[in-house]
Amino acid sequence: MPKNKLRVVVKTLIKETSDIIRITLADYKGGGLPKWRAGAHIDLYLKNNFIRQYSLSNDPNEKYHYEIAVLKEENGSGGSRFIHENFHEGMELEISKPRNHFSLMPDAKYYILLAGGIGITPIMAMIEELESQKKNYLVYYCTRTIEKTAFWERLLSGASAGKVHIHHDNGDPKLGFDFESVLKEYKHDTSLYYCGPPSFMKAVEVSTKDWPRSSLNYEYFSKANKNAEKEVSKTSFNIKISSTGQVFEVPCESSIIQVLREHNFAVDTSCEDGFCGTCMTRYLEGKPEHRDSVLDEEDRKQFVLICCARSKTPTLVLDL
């Protein structure tokens, strides 16, 4: 088995809501699993050739299992539906080792965690990590109804302590969460983390337009606009492989990934839309045109997501 993959077994499968199942995964031999931090996600390699990413939602201190929650998306591409209809306790599957582009900043004094719908999954692990570190935090979780609220039982103690606020809008925009009131003023040493559907992400973005960019941390769990066509470039460019000196042209209609595969380079990918981070690659020279939803400004000084990025310079040198 490739070193970046793990063989696991489904230990438990629990129906959280009518359209969300919570799945516990353990090493198929009963051993421990690689360490991770809150905000991490894993890839699931499914038998129908789907690869899907899911955030880990359990306590990062737990050594023997990973937990994910899967929303059945009726209008999705079929991955979540396959999981809902085919997964069962005792089945074995392959997953990737945890990767993290959404980890908690250690030096903040105060944390605000915002979640919309299934975006609560990485936030659940963050709650556990912040609790263990005795950090100050507040959680705001937006759902339609109690019946549509994942992790309801686990969140009750936090709600009783005033650390977790759950908002239900019953599907009525007029009853929507008041983002502006919660986010109207940035407080020094505050770090904000948010994850949810596109409309939720946009509302947070608008409400934090005056916040320092360094204080904002977010993760998309799907392409921002599933119906949008991929942006087409009007110019080609070259990529250079640093280890061999080979130079390949990337035409307007092709991606870096496609060109590399045409020349027999094996590159792991998953979403190929710039929101999972699987294909993150270091670059050594050139100036990328970033088109992803994963990398922050610091990451972009060293890395590029080669599934969607282009180049602003004639040549982009990749550390391959």
pLDDT in tens, 133-157: 999 999 999 999 999 999 999 999 9
The answer to whether the CB of 123 falls within 8 A of the CB of 113 is: yes
Q: Mean pLDDT lowest for which of 127-131, 171-175, 225-229, 252-256?
A: 225-229
Cα 131 to Cα 72, 127, 158, 180, 285, distances in angstroms: 30, 6, 10, 27, 42
Would the pTM count as exceeding 0.95?
A: no
Residue range 195-206: average pLDDT? 91
CATH of 5-100, one of 2.40.30.10, 3.40.50.300, 3.60.15.10, 3.90.1150.10: 2.40.30.10
Q: String of b and e for 65-83 (b: at least 16 CB within 10 Å)?
A: bbbbbbbbbeeeeebbebb
Give the pLDDT band (50/70/90) at residue 1: low
Give the pLDDT band (50/70/90) at residue 233: low
Q: Mean pLDDT lowest for which of 7-21, 228-242, 248-262?
A: 228-242
pLDDT tens digits, one per residue of 22-60: 999 999 999 999 999 999 999 999 876 678 889 999 999
Token pair for 81: 């539906």
Where in the chain are the domains? 5-100, 110-219, 237-318
Q: What is the spatial order of strands in the sheet that 237-241 belongs to?
A: 247-250, 237-241, 315-318, 280-285, 303-305
Q: String of b and e for 160-193 (b: at least 16 CB within 10 Å)?
A: eeebbebebeeeeeeeebebeebbeeeeeebbbb
Residue with the bigger pLDDT between 110 and 292: it is 110
pLDDT tens digits, one per residue of 98-120: 989 899 999 999 999 999 999 99
The answer on pLDDT for 232 being more than 80 is no
Superfamily of domain 237-318: Beta-grasp domain (3.10.20.30)
Nearest to 294 by CA among 267, 274, 273: 274
The answer on pLDDT for 270 being more than 80 is no
Res 77: pLDDT: 67
Q: Looking at the domain that runs over 110-219, which CATH code has it been given?
A: 3.40.50.80
Give the pLDDT band (50/70/90) at residue 223: low
Nearest to 32 by CA among 1, 66, 68, 69: 66
Res 296: pLDDT: 79
pLDDT tens digits, one per residue of 59-87: 999 999 999 999 998 776 678 999 999 99
Give the pLDDT band (50/70/90) at residue 299: confident
* Other Cβ atoms within 10 Å of 124 Cβ, number: 24
CA atoms within 13 A on the CB side of 30: 0
Integer Cα distance of 16 and 20 in angstroms: 5
Give the pLDDT band (50/70/90) at residue 126: very high
Q: String of b and e for 274-302 (b: at least 16 CB within 10 Å)?
A: bbbbbbbbebeebebbbbbbbbeeebbee
Integer Cα distance of 276 and 270 in angstroms: 7
CA atoms within 13 A on the CB side of 32: 7
Residue 306: phi, psi to the nearest 5? -80, 0
Q: Which DSSP string corresponds to 66-93?
A: EEEEEE--TTS-SHHHHHHHH--TT-EE
